[in-house]
Amino acid sequence: MAWLDDARLRARTRLRQARDANRLPPFADDTDPGGATPVVMVDASPRIDDGIPRAVRVAGAWAWRVILFVADPG
């Protein structure tokens, strides 16, 4: 996934430049002649506020796989 590596490199570069200049990172690349390229960073790690413990989520994920395997007629 070269595009993902490229996006990570661009994001890291922008964050490093902002840290060196002691300012907030830009949300769009002003140097791009074709228009702005947004940078989106997502933290998908589960939180305590999710309400469902991780063990229950993992068990549920495996349970539907087992049910499909057992219910498979072939």
What is the mean pLDDT of the segment spanning 7-23?
84
Average pLDDT of the chain is: 76
Give the tokens for residue 21. 């200049």
DSSP-derived letter for residue 33 is T
The Cα angle at residue 31 between residues 25 and 37, in degrees rounded to 5: 65
Q: With b meaning 16 or more CB within 10 Å and e meaning fewer, what string describes 27-40?
A: eeeeeeeeeeeeee
- pLDDT for 17 beyond 60: yes
Counting residues of the chain whose pLDDT is more than 70, the rounded percentage is: 66
What is the mean pLDDT of the segment spanning 45-68?
82
- pLDDT for 63 beyond 90: yes
- pLDDT for 74 beyond 80: no
- pLDDT for 62 beyond 90: yes
